[in-house]
Each structure stands twice: as C-alpha cells, then as structure tokens.
Amino acid sequence: MPLIFLSPSTQEWNPYITEGKNEEGVMNQLADEMVPYLRSSGIDYIRNDPERNVAGAIEDSNAGRFDVHLALHTNAAPAQFSGMLRGIDIYFAPKSYDSETLATIIANNFQQIYPRPNDVMARPTQNLGEVLRTKAVAVLAEIGYHDNAEDAEWIQKNLKLIARMLVLSLTDYFGIPFISASPVIPGTVDTQGSRLNLRSYPSLSGTVIGQIPDGTQLLLDGETDGWYVTRYGGKTGYVSGEYLRFP
C-alpha cells in the first residue's frame, strides 16, 4: 500500500491577510483534515517535522522509501501586486512523468472545487527543492494566495473539502479506491481455523501481502464493497468482511 511524506509549510513568518493566521498554521490544519481520509483509504503517511526547514524536510523524505512527497503551501504575490492575485499552482518536476501525472490529477480536481477553475494550473518548476531534490515522486501545491482576502477566506472555509480532494487525487494516482473518512471499528478474524489473506487491493484478485491468524483482533479503518482497510504485521491492506466478526 502507498506511503507518502506529507509536508505542510513550516513558514510561520508568512502571515495571512486574516488576523492571527499564517501559512504554517493553516497548512498544518489542512494536513490534519487529510489524516482521516488517508487512514480510511489505506494510505500510510509520515509528516514533516515542523521544527525543521525545507532542507530538513527533503533530508527526512529521502531517508525513507516514500511513494509520494506532497508539499502543502499557500502563495503570496510580489509586493507590487499584493492582494491582487488569485489562483492555484501545482508544481511538478519537468523530467518526471509521474510527478506531472500526479500534479495534473490534483489540478484537475481543484478545478472542480475552486471558484476560479481557469486559474488552476499544473506547472513545471526549475527551482523548488521539495519537488526537484526528493527521491520520491513529488509535487508542491500552492493553494491560493494568502494575501488575497477572497482566497484566504476560501481556503479557511474549505479545509475539509480541500483535504478530501487531495486524498481523492492520491487514490486516483495510486489506482486504489477512495474511502470516505469513517470511525475506526474493531473486528475479529473468523475463518474457522485458517488464515485470512491481507490483500493489496479490495478484490480476490488483489495480491496477498500477508496472512492473519484466526481469532486476531483488528482495527478496521474504512470499508468499500465489503472489504475493510486494516493494518497487520506492519502492512496496510484489505480484508474481506465475509471473514470478520463484529461486536
């Protein structure tokens, strides 16, 4: 199952036009809103250390084996255009097909929820380190302009919607089902003595990535068509609800 490095901005010195708000705080709120959708959809994640800078985030990302590095930011216009610009830019590595594919998926999905869809673009970057210097497939999202009152208001009022859309985009990219956030529920393997297959996809054709002994108690994160997302033996996958007993 996928593992992502989730890297919300650490730029607390970038104030929003909204009193008391800054880029680091709002982007970490967005990351918080993503977590339930990531969990339910079976995407594992590690977040950046807010005490480290961009170089630290790149170093930490490259120390692991991540499938995607997703950086979350908001933008600010140059001084002469302060407060005048709006739009969303999703930056990708120009020589990476996978990076461009992910950025395009995210941009297309943002066009469905942003009030100015023509101002949403997937763009190549020549200088963003979090895109160009990471081993994982990387994109950096500049989600609106925080010095623009309309964008700042839209971002803050729609954090849950944006979070849902970002995780939907990740599931599109990874080719797995998107599962709406739901409470974690307990379940017990009930196979009459055999082992329950943990699969990479919610189907009998999904690759078996582990086997779970009968009677094992599990925490179930999300459900799609009778299959449940769960974690066992350090792996995340799907198990058939046909072989689970619920309280």
Closest CA to 87 of 155, 160, 22: 155
Tell me: pLDDT of 140 over 90: yes
| Total-model pTM | 0.95
What are 193-240's pLDDT values in tens digits?
999 999 999 999 999 999 999 999 999 999 999 999 999 999 999 999
Total residue length of the chain: 247
Compute the average pLDDT of residues 148-158: 97
Tell me: pLDDT of 90 over 90: yes
Compute the average pLDDT of residues 114-137: 98
* Percent of the chain residues past pLDDT 90, beyond the cut: 98
Confidence of residue 42 (pLDDT cuts 50, 70, 90): very high
Give residue 247's pLDDT: 87
The phi, psi pair for 148, rounded to 5°, reads -105, 125
Closest CA to 188 of 211, 236, 220: 220
Long-range CB contacts for residues 150-153, cutoff 8 Å, separation at least 24: 150/86, 150/115, 151/74, 151/86, 152/16, 152/17, 152/18, 152/21, 153/18
| Domains and their CATH numbers in the chain | 3-174 (3.40.630.40), 185-245 (2.30.30.40)
